[in-house]
Amino acid sequence: MRIQLDGVWKAYGEGPGQFWAIEDARLEVASGDFLAIVGPSGSGKSTLLHLLGCLDAPTHGEVLIDGEPATRKSDRELSLVRRNRIGFIFQQYYLNESMTAWQNVLLPLELGKVRDRRNRATEALGWVGLGSRLGSYPSELSGGEQQRVAIARALANSPEIVLADEPTGSLDSATGGDVLAMLQSLNAERGIGLVIVTHDAKVAACGKARIQVRDGRIT
Amino acid sequence: MTIGGIAIGVATLFALLALSSGIEGALEREISGLGAHILLLPIGCPYTLTLSLMQGADTPEFIPEDVVPHVRETENVRTTVPVVVGKAKVNGELTPIYGTTDDVFRVKSWGTADLTGALVGSYAATKLKLKPGDRITVDLYSEVTVPVTKILDETQGRDDTFVFLPLALAQKVLALEAKLSGILVETENVAKVTQTRYTLAKIAGIQAVPPSEVFDTLVGLFGSVKQTLILITGIAIVVGVLTTMNTMTMAVYERRREIGLLRALGSTRRDVFALFLSESLLVSLAGGVVGLALGYAASFLLPRTSGFGIAASPQFSLAYVGICLLVACAVGTLSAIYPAMMAARTQPIRALREL
Amino acid sequence: MRSWNGMTRILELLISVATLVAVGIGATGEDAGSALLPLAGNWTPPAGVHAGRPPSNKGTVEIRGLGTFEFDPPQIQALRKDLFRPGHFSVFDVLASLAKAGTIPMEYSYDESLGTYVIESLNGKSGWWYDAHYAGGAFERPVVRMDEYPVKDGMAIQLYLESPDRLAAITQDFGKQVARLRSNGGRVVVPKVTVRSPRATLTFNDVGVTAHNVRSDVFQTGVISVLDVLLSLGEQGQLSSLELAWRDRMENADPVDNYFVDQVRTEDYSTEAAGDCTYVHEVGSETLMGFLAPHGHATSHVHLTADVEVLTSPEYVEFLWACLQEARASGENKNPQAKD
């Protein structure tokens, strides 16, 4: 799978208050890549990630998925891409508080009515080391454990590319290190493409490639 | 809260349906219980006169008894039943009495043909503690003593409340010698009822009324009351719709993070729409069930009489249950459409970002 | 419960209006003149112009279970000399004179708490009430004190045993009226007066009513009638005008000799004048509602016009604009349609 940003501009707001978050971004990510996007906060790096994942649409320019413009795809097609081919990990985890860890991981599988989904959910949690916490609610898990559930959820549908926005941002350095290691092995052993947005230079150092973003421009 | 809004609308609808069919059923039973194709009444308002006849109440006007031979002679008249009614003290208790002749057996299905003594309706018999063979005193303007020849079987109609006496005796008690409260007429050929009615109307001192017309008018009067009730129900349902829409919109807003997440994970817009719509459908069904229970209870608490002196119990039927549940679902679904659409349109990343 | 009885009331009013049909209001009525009030600032029709003919012909009264009895007006004196002028008397006075002559076995007395004469026993029984109507009318079970119902030639009077419930309600109502009068220090104050037409309703609360002696030919000075309610409202500045029409006789009714209220107007309220429309009235209370006597009248009657119905102190007085289509077929009294 290959996702490209081709001359992408993104603006928020209208009229005099309009603010360009991204200006003329050109970027490419493919399965197997490990890209770190660094920059100070407010530089637009998260926006880049959202654009890559088709969570947001560009104001100008094109996002291409395997060479095809995302704008030409229907909502259904894009949803399927998000569901089956891309995995998301967010800084704030965004777990459903009223569901157990296992139910959270099952969620994307349910959407696609994937065969054998219950086992796959259990497996995914086992892979992130939480096989014994299937029935726990997010409120009963530590920050690191919650992020690991989020990772399991992102992996549940065997995505080709995982987009992670400050995955270690809410964790202490030890836990953060564990999560990072996990993500690295995903990339190395399973060939999953990885884009990590971070402001932490140490995290950035782990990536195979690195781009810097400042004031909406890739430098 | 949504359940509450829907429940109230459904409750009102259910109670209305049950009560109105109960009252219409009661009216119909009353009128057909008279047993006549044509009712001859004194001059005056036919509706209240008919009701007086049915209830045994005193009327201000009477038919002179000497019209009876003229009625009997009229073409197409098969049976002529002269009647006097009034309330008299039977063994000291005020009871409606009904004086008539043997002709009455041809229009009622009492399974007996003996009017030498008193025939007592089942309810009256229980109230007065009577059995065949007892002697009763009937007293108002004069007093007579009569043996009870039979207690009639329950008919679920007015007849159960009456004590039936030979005409002359009743007339004596009610001081209505040579007068009648009404005459029941049964025709040979029912198809010619209207013609016969006009012929009879020409006899001086009476008016001829088909009981069904009275029924229609009474139902018509009731109908305008029903319209008010329908209006109230309509309002209740509108309130239900608005409450649901409001609650759902709030819910969509409160759950926007969840929606954003779902979309990020790959839910299509249609999935989100379907999710909210099906949730609201379930809530509506729940509201419907609660409403049915409330409506059931309410229809017993609401007034039972229609002011025409007719008591009616609510009639429930599965059809009404079905209608009410359908209405509940329709209300729930319709009012959820807009909020569900809003939910589906949620932009994933914006929803997720908001805290 | 109220709304059902409201239906019955409407039914009853329609019936009362039927009486008017029988009496034949309309273009065929002979108007011996209308008075448009206020007249020279006064809310009273000119005095001495009209006078009702006192009863002079022999009449009959039917007492159920006893028989029909004849009476001769010149021989009858009113018991309520506080109400009636010489020459006029009430239904009760007819009975009293028959009792005095020994023709009927009746015992009676004056009940202070009810403000009226009551029959204690007649023919050895108690619980009597009466029905009456003038020429051209029909029986409708009025709730008017028997000793206040004026007798006219050609009148029908009937005495019968009333149902205990209804009689109790009537008695209670009379008692409440007297109590209300006393609690207002002898002044008549009507808690609620309404004037209704299909398009609008006027409501007046706590209306003080004083006598205007409109029918000083029948009543003594100071007697308050239902008509005084409207005249008092006029004096209090609540109405802009009133139209009263005197009718000697009508199509099948003679004598009539009454004032009819043809129009009531305020700044924002009026009704279109039409040949067969007039205001009918109803006097009543909550106690009396819900009686479906044949005709379940809770109230006094339309055919007792406002100018000769004595007012004690009721809970409400309602004037209703009623228009009639002639609906008389031979021998059949159809229910008239009240139209706008």
Residues C322 and C230 in one domain: yes
C176 inside domain? no
Residues C202 and C289 in one domain: yes
B261 and A111 in contact by Cβ < 8 A?
no
Q: How confident is the model at residue A22 (pLDDT cuts 50, 70, 90)?
A: confident
Mean pLDDT on B178-193: 87
Same domain as C274, residue C253: yes
**Pair (C103, C241) in one structural domain:** no
pLDDT digits (tens, 9 = 90+) for C71-84: 999 999 999 999 99
- Residue C134 belongs to domain spanning: 59-166
* CA-based nearest distance B349→chain A, Å: 6
Q: Would you place residue C331 in the very low, low, confident or very high pLDDT band (cuts 50, 70, 90)? A: very low
Q: Which of A55, A75, A80 sits opposite B349 (nearest CB)?
A: A55
Residue C207: band (very low, low, confident or very high) from pLDDT cuts 50, 70, 90: very high
Chain B residue with Cα closest to A110: B267
The DSSP secondary-structure symbol of B324 reads: H
Q: Which of A41, A54, A79 best tests the B interface by mutation, with the highest count of B CBs <10 A?
A: A79
Structure confidence at residue C23 (pLDDT) = 47
Q: Is the pLDDT of residue B223 over 80?
A: no
Interacting residues of C82 by C-beta distance below 8 A, sequence separation 6+: C220, C223
| Closest by Cβ to C331, choosing from B43, B52, B303 | B43
| More reliable by pLDDT, B180 or B351 | B180
Name the minimum distance, in Å, from the CA of B270 to any CA of chain A: 8
C75, part of any domain: yes
* pLDDT at residue C8, rounded to an integer: 55
C10: its two tokens: 């409407």
Interface partners of chain C (CB pairs < 8 Å, 3 or more) are B
Chain B interface, mutation test: which of C13, C161, C337, most B Cβ atoms within 10 Å?
A: C161
Residues with Cβ within 8 Å of B38's Cβ and at least 6 positions away in sequence, in order, are: B184, B185, B187, B193, B196, B197, B200, B208, B209, B210, B211
Inter-residue long-range contacts of A134-141, CB under 8 Å, 24+ positions, other chains counted? A134/A100, A134/A101, A134/A102, A135/A100, A135/A101, A135/A102, A136/A100, A136/A101, A137/A97, A137/A98, A137/A99, A137/A100, A137/A101, A138/A93, A138/A95, A138/A96, A138/A97, A138/A101, A138/A104, A139/A97, A141/A101
Nearest by CB to B265, from A56, A75, A111: name it.
Answer: A111
Question: Domain check: are C158 and C275 in the same one?
Answer: no
Q: CA torsion A136→A138→A143→A147, rounded to 10°?
A: 90
What pLDDT is recorded for position C295?
Answer: 39
Neighboring chain B residues of C294 at a CB cutoff of 8 Å: 44, 48-49, 51-52, 57-60
Q: Tell me the two tokens of residue C48.
A: 């001495």
- Pair (C34, C127) in one structural domain: no
Instruction: CATH number for A2-98+161-218: choose from 3.40.50.300, 3.30.2130.10, 2.40.40.20, 2.102.10.10.
Output: 3.40.50.300
Query: How many domains does the structure of chain C reveal?
Result: 2
The string of pLDDT tens digits covering residues C98-151 is 999 999 999 999 999 999 999 999 999 999 999 998 887 777 777 889 999 999
C223 and C316 Cβ atoms separated by less than 8 Å: no
Best CA proximity match to B57, nearest among B110, B97, B21: B97
* Domain identity same for C140 and C227: no
What confidence tier does C326 reach under pLDDT thresholds 50, 70, 90?
very low
**Residue C338 resides in a domain:** no
Record: contact C292-B58, CB cut-off 8 A: no
Choose the closest CB to B265 out of A56, A75, A107: A107
* Identity of the residue in C158, C161, C294 whose CB atom sits nearest the CB atom of B57: C294
Query: Which C residues 37-76 touch B at CB under 8 Å?
Result: 64-66
Q: What is the share, in percent, of chain A residues with pLDDT greater than 90?
A: 1
Contact at 8 Å (CB) between B295 and B15?
A: yes
Q: Is residue A123 exposed (0-12), middle (13-18) or buried (19+ Cβ within 10 Å)? A: middle
Condensed to tens digits (0 to 9), the pLDDT of residues C4-20 reads 455 555 655 555 555 55
Gap from A62 CA to chain B (nearest CA, Å): 18
Residue C211 shares a structural domain with residue C270: yes
Q: Rounded to whole angstroms, how far apart are CA atoms B99 and B104?
A: 10
CB A134: neighbour CB atoms within 10 A? 16
The answer on C255 and C320 residing in a single domain is: yes
pLDDT digits (tens, 9 = 90+) for B257-289: 788 888 888 888 888 888 888 888 887 888 778
Comparing C-alpha atoms, which of A185, A118, A178 is closest to residue A145?
Answer: A178
CATH number where C159 lies: 2.170.130
Residue carrying structure tokens 């990020």 = B264
Is the pLDDT at C187 greater than 90? The verdict is yes
Rounded Cα distance between C314 and C284, Å, is 6
Same domain flag for C18 and C151: no
Distance from CA of B353 to the nearest CA of A (A): 10
Answer whether residue C175 is part of any domain. no
Asked whether residue C46 falls in the same domain as residue C189, the answer is yes
CB C269 within 8 A of CB C200: yes
Contact check, Cβ <8 Å, B266/A76:
no
Same domain, C17 and C67: no
The answer to whether A and B touch (≥3 CB pairs < 8 Å) is yes
CA distance A75 to chain B (A): 7
Domain borders along chain B are: 2-26+217-353, 38-209
Averaged over A71-80, what is the pLDDT? 84
ipTM higher than threshold 0.85? no
Q: Who wins on pLDDT, B313 or C59?
A: C59
The size of the B-C interface in CB pairs under 8 A is: 97
Would you say residue C118 lies in a domain? Answer: yes
Which own/partner contact pairs does C40-48 have at CB distance under 8 Å and 24+ positions apart? C43/C212, C43/C231, C43/C232, C43/C234, C43/C235, C43/C242, C44/C212, C44/C213, C44/C214, C44/C231, C45/C214, C45/C244, C45/C246, C45/C259, C47/C213, C47/C216
**Residue C297 pLDDT > 70:** no
Which range of B4-18, C41-55, C88-102 scores highest in mean pLDDT? It is: C88-102
Domain boundaries, chain A: 2-98+161-218
